[in-house]
Amino acid sequence: MDDCLKTQNNNYNQIEKAIKYIDENFKEQPSIDEIASNIGMSKYHFIRVFKEYVGVTPKQFLHSLTLNYAKEHIKESKSVLDSSLDIGLSSSSRLHELFVNLIGVTPKEYREKGKNVTITYGYGETPFGEALIAFTLKGICYLGFIDKNKEENFDRFYEIWGNANLIHDNEKAKEYIENIFIKNKKYNLLVKGTNFQVNVWKALLNLPNGVVTTYQDMANLIDKPKAVRAVASAIGKNHIGYLIPCHRVIAKSGAMSGYRWGVMRKKILIAYEAINQK
């Protein structure tokens, strides 16, 4: 399975290059030949890589990245949210259905940054690039994608859990990553945040796969319609990427800016989920 993740990671890197090129030349609507040539691949190899990674052709994939698609999808998603979230955020049945339990640290653990807690962390390849993952006996406590700066990612992890007993184990980390991204195994999530932040993250867990929403709708969802900026700030402080799907929240205009782990990665995650939603 490790070979499968390596292949997907390599494919992700190629897709990221392609999307960057499309973003920079969007007004000219480049052809598949132009995109493939720009990233140093033949047209048919490019199409094959896309289909292996996403399951559809590049044209179908690219359509899901357009601004108009995002705007339309927000409208569709709002109705989905209205119907799927009417049981309320406090309902344990919804979290049980997702097979995910979000656990907040105690106030003491919050102050002490995980003191006396043993945390294992390590690096591994995912279908969306390399990642740093960390976990305790209670569950996953950090998942962050890495672009160019490994140290910056580690510094953020250390800022949150720096006082814990840290154990570096890449092999164990790869096992967790494989369970999450290949086997779709669900883990409890251990988060460190204020009550407000935890409530926002719980709301994110209730977003169905393939659905995008806006910061305003998230604020309405937690009954804080005037707290859009605070909601955006809480989303930005999410330290368990992908599993707490902060990438599914975009601006009302359809713009996809402000993702901690890169706007290109955010676009790929949204498009991938939209096409592969179950």
Would you please indicate which residues are annotated as catalytic (active-site) residues? 246
CB atoms within 10 A of CB 265: 21
Q: Three-class SS of residue 133? A: strand
CB atoms within 10 A of CB 198: 17
Considering only CA atoms, which of 18, 45, 52 is closest in space to residue 34? 18
Could you tell me the sign of the dihedral formed by the alpha carbons of 47, 9, 6, 34, in that order? positive
CB atoms within 10 A of CB 116: 10
Cα separation, 230 vs 215, whole angstroms: 10
What lies within 8 Å, CB to CB, of 143 at 6+ separation is 131, 132, 133, 134, 239, 240, 241, 242, 243
What lies within 8 Å, CB to CB, of 61 at 6+ separation is 50, 54, 271, 275
Is residue 69 within 8 A of residue 80, CB to CB? The reply is no
Q: What secondary structure letter does DSSP report for 65? A: T
